[in-house]
């Protein structure tokens, strides 16, 4: 892959309800801020990718609501419906195809709908949807499958929530910075067994934008470029009954290809931090296994040995992760943004020391059916 940089990043503060802003307001703010962050103007941008979801927005052609706010009025623009990491992937491919710079911008207002109905729409309309299954209940089954397969306890998973909400205390953009204990998680309201309220990320309002640039435009930018070294995505089978929910095969495939592109042979040694899509506490250990950072069933060991804490050798979700802020779709882009801030050395109180290589991850579909993996580096 040719050299491509991330030259600008911006995100809103993620919160439960932004009732003073419509989608276009949020998108305009983050696009403007990302351009300021990069020291570029809209004239430097020749490609725009918006990320939105018609179900979430309650609008068909949801990209239309933010066309002018994204800066795409007289540019080559398109809309990816899926997680922000996938939208960023399209923005990257456009730059690799000859565009100078892509703005990728995602927005989401969970407050304006009911996420249970929105995610119920992911499931088969004839065989599954009428059962009422949606993201949380499907994830609860995945959590149970994972726990039973490998003998993982609810308390162990609760410790992930404690860590990530704790990390969020150092992230001014996070929705739920919290100082909680395992006991607090265990005593929080049951949502769908074995998931309790504090095992689940919130539903947030928020937006985020990144600028993906060719080396020429990156050189023009005033920001410190962060370089894309590897990126890949993959989807597995659809019907959750057809899948082994405790083995994320699509993530393994995407990670393998991303590592190959980046020339990473031993990810646990070569990566300095990981930002992954932990919509629920169990997802962190499970995705770590898929990423090859832990053996099957041993995902919890990274936290238990102190490896994935802020003081450890491979901090996982220094931002507080999706457990602490979950603007749907936007959340994957936020993983990339946090990685960029860390590699630039601009992560403030949550800065991982000497971070040079980071992994950002996003998911699409029920129970992580589709995964996108990004490897970023401080150096070209």
Residue numbers at the binding site for other proteins (CB under 8 A): 1-2, 24, 53-55, 58-61, 63-69, 72-74, 76-82, 86, 89-90, 92-94, 96-98, 118-119, 121-122, 124-126, 214, 232-239, 249-250, 253-254, 364-366, 369-370
Could you tell me the smallest distance in angstroms from the CB atom of residue 261 to other proteins?
Answer: 9
Q: Among residues 364, 371, 374, 272, which one has the least CA distance to residue 316?
A: 272
Closest by CA position to 243, among listed 286, 288, 196: 286
Shortest Cβ distance from residue 289 to other proteins (Å)? 18
Token pair recorded at residue 345: 């050395």
Helix, strand or coil, per DSSP, at residue 15: strand
Six-digit token pair at 183?
A: 């006991």
- Phi, psi for 141 (deg, rounded to 5): -65, -40
Rounded Cα–Cα distance for residues 294 and 173 (Å): 29
Q: Report the residue number, 234 or 316, with the smaller CB distance to other proteins.
A: 234
Q: What is the smallest separation between the CB atom of 18 and other proteins, expressed in angstroms?
A: 17
In the complex, the smallest distance separating the C-beta of residue 29 from other proteins, rounded to whole angstroms, is 16
Q: Are 65 and 24 in contact (CB under 8 A)?
A: yes
In terms of C-beta density within 10 A (0-12 exposed, 13-18 middle, 19 or more buried), how is residue 326 classed?
buried
Closest to other proteins by CB, 315 vs 366, is: 366
Least Å from the CB of residue 10 to other proteins: 21
Q: What sign does the dihedral 209-215-216-220 (CA atoms) show?
A: positive
90 or 280: CB nearest other proteins = 90
Nearer to other proteins, 138 or 300 (CB): 138
Closer Cβ to other proteins, 120 or 156, answer by number: 120
The number of C-alpha atoms within 13 Å of 51 and in the hemisphere containing its C-beta is: 32
In whole angstroms, the minimum distance from the beta carbon of 56 to other proteins comes to: 9
Question: Which are the contacts of 379, defined by CB distance < 8 A and separation ≥ 6?
Answer: 227, 356
> Under 8 Å CB-to-CB from 368, ≥6 apart: which residues?
142, 248, 250, 251, 277, 283, 286, 287
At what angle are helices 84-96 and 330-344 packed, to 10 degrees? Answer: 60
Would you mind telling me the total number of residues written for the chain in this entry?
380
Task: Give 205's strand partners.
Answer: 15, 109
Closest CA to 290 of 245, 342, 335, 240: 245
Give the nearest distance from C-beta 37 to other proteins in angstroms.
Answer: 24
Of 25 and 184, which CB lies nearer to other proteins in the complex structure? 25
**97/266 with CB nearer other proteins:** 97
How near is the Cβ of 174 to other proteins at its closest, in Å? 26
Smallest distance from other proteins to CB 182, Å: 33
Are the C-beta atoms of 167 and 318 separated by less than 8 Å? yes
Q: Whose Cβ is closer to other proteins: residue 302's or residue 336's? A: 336
Q: DSSP letter string over 142-201?
A: HHHHHHHHHT--HHHHHHHHHHHHHHHTT-TT-S------HHHHHHSPEEETTEEGGGB-
If the CB atoms of residues 257 and 298 are measured against other proteins, the closer one turns out to be 257
* Closest CB 133 distance from other proteins, rounded Å: 13
């Amino acid at each position: 892959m040719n050299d491509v940089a991330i030259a600008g990043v911006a995100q809103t503060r993620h919160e439960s309800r932004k009732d003073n802003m419509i989608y276009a307001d949020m998108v305009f703010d983050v696009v403007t801020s990302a351009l300021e962050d990069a020291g570029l103007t809209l004239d430097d941008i020749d490609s725009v990718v918006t990320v939105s979801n018609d179900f979430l927005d309650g609008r068909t052609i949801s990209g239309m609501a933010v066309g002018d706010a994204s800066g795409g009025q007289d540019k080559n623009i398109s809309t990816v419906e899926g997680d922000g990491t996938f939208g960023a992937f399209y923005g990257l491919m456009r730059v690799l195809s000859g565009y100078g710079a892509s703005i990728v911008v995602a927005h989401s207002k969970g407050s304006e709908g009911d996420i249970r109905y929105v995610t119920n729409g992911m499931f088969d309309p004839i065989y599954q949807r009428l059962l009422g299954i949606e993201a949380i209940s499907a994830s609860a089954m995945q959590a149970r499958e994972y726990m039973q397969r490998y003998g993982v306890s609810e308390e162990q998973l609760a410790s992930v929530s404690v860590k990530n909400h704790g990390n969020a205390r150092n992230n001014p953009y996070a929705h739920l910075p919290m100082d909680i204990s395992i006991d607090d998680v265990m005593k929080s309201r049951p949502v769908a067994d074995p998931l309790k309220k504090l095992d689940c990320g919130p539903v947030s309002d928020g937006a985020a934008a990144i600028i993906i640039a060719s080396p020429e435009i990156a050189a023009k930018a005033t920001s410190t470029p962060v370089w894309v070294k590897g990126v890949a995505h993959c989807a597995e089978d659809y019907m959750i009954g057809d899948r082994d929910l405790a083995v994320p095969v699509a993530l393994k495939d995407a990670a393998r290809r991303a590592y190959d592109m980046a020339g990473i042979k031993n990810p646990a040694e070569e990566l300095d931090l990981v930002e992954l899509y932990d919509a629920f506490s169990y997802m962190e250990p499970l995705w770590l296994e898929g990423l090859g950072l832990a053996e099957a069933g041993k995902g919890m060991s990274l936290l238990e040995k102190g490896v994935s804490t802020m003081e450890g050798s491979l901090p996982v979700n220094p931002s507080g992760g999706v457990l602490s802020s979950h603007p749907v779709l936007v959340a994957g882009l936020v993983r990339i943004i946090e990685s960029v801030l860390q590699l630039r050395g601009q992560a403030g109180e949550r800065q991982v020391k000497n971070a040079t290589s980071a992994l950002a991850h996003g998911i699409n579909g029920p129970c992580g059916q589709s995964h996108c993996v990004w490897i970023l580096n401080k150096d070209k």
